[in-house]
Amino acid sequence: MEIRGAAVLPARREDIELRTDDGLTLVGELALPADRDPVATLVTLHPLPTHGGFMDSHIIRKAAARLPALADLAVLRFNTRGTSSPRGTSEGEFGDGVAEVADVAAAMRFVADRGLPNPWLVGWSFGTELTLKYGRSHPVQGAILLSPPLHRTSQEELADWAHDTRPLIALIPEHDDFLRPPEAREKFAVAPRTVLIEVEDGKHLWVGEKQTSRVLDEIVRAVNPAALPLPAEWPDAD
């Protein structure tokens, strides 16, 4: 069957909880390849919860649904503080990207405790702000930014990535609502190691299978390029 939309491929899926240093419990899910160990781990950070972002935001949900099977990746997704989804509600209140420093730390501690290999941060929109502000302090292999708005990330925080040798990859939609390619080239000039991928016809929310496939392809190209090209079909895809 063709892999599209809400297709869910085989994986070992586990409801998990993260405990923050300030005493909150965050709810989430870990998805692992069904019958083998993962080669790398995606720690995903969702869009702005005050505008509908959560662990089921479609790119993150589809990464968890497809990439354990297609690319041998572990995918950790969770609701940041005060965020709700069908999985449940994480304790606390939205911290405008400040208090969430503890949420990122809790996720990375979970990765370490579980011995999950080669973690990468994958942030989307608000999640890119958390990645840029706090990702450098954690032992990640690199970071991938989807539609970075650069609203909460200062130029100083962005410039700090200039001194970091780990890959920083930013997917910039041609028709983004907040940061389009010309402005992105200017803003990211302070972090010249950043790989800017300008996505033709892309929009902030990456709606549609063509855009979803492009995003997942670029994630896999960075994290496990040996898995490319990703299959377009899977036996008995749900």
Q: What is the CATH number of the domain that holds 82?
A: 3.40.50.1820
On the question of pLDDT at 119 being above 80, the answer is: yes
H helix or E strand, kind and range, residue 32: strand 25-32
Q: Which amino acid, 54?
A: F
- Beta-carbon count within 10 A of 3 CB: 21
Q: How far is CA 165 from CA 44, 134, 142, 170, in A?
A: 21, 16, 9, 15
Query: Is 123 domain-assigned?
Result: yes
184 sits in which H/E element: helix 181-187
The reply to whether 237 falls in a domain is no
**pLDDT band with cut points at 50, 70 and 90 for residue 232:** very high
Is residue 1 in some structural domain? no
CA distances from 86 to 23, 28, 55, 94 (A): 22, 10, 9, 18
Domain-located, residue 49: yes
Residue 125 in any domain: the answer is: yes
Does residue 151 belong to any structural domain of this protein? yes
Q: Looking at residue 70, what is its pLDDT?
A: 98
The parent domain of residue 82 ranges over 12-227
Q: What angle do CA 59, 63, 65 make, to 5 degrees?
A: 115
Does residue 5 lie within any of the structural domains?
no
- The SS3 assignment for 182 reads helix
Query: Nearest-CA neighbor of 29 among 60, 4, 51, 5?
Result: 60
Mean per-residue pLDDT, 13-25: 98
Residue 238 pLDDT > 70:
no
Residue 130 forms part of a structural domain = yes
Q: Cα separation of 137 and 169, whole Å?
A: 17
User: What pLDDT is stored for residue 77 in this prediction?
Assistant: 98
Q: CA-to-CA distance for 234 and 232, rounded, in angstroms?
A: 7
Apex CA 9: angle with CA 172 and CA 173, to 5°?
10
Query: pLDDT per residue over 42-64, tens digit each?
Result: 999 999 999 999 999 999 999 99
Give me the number of domains the chain comprises: 1
pLDDT for the residue 158: 97
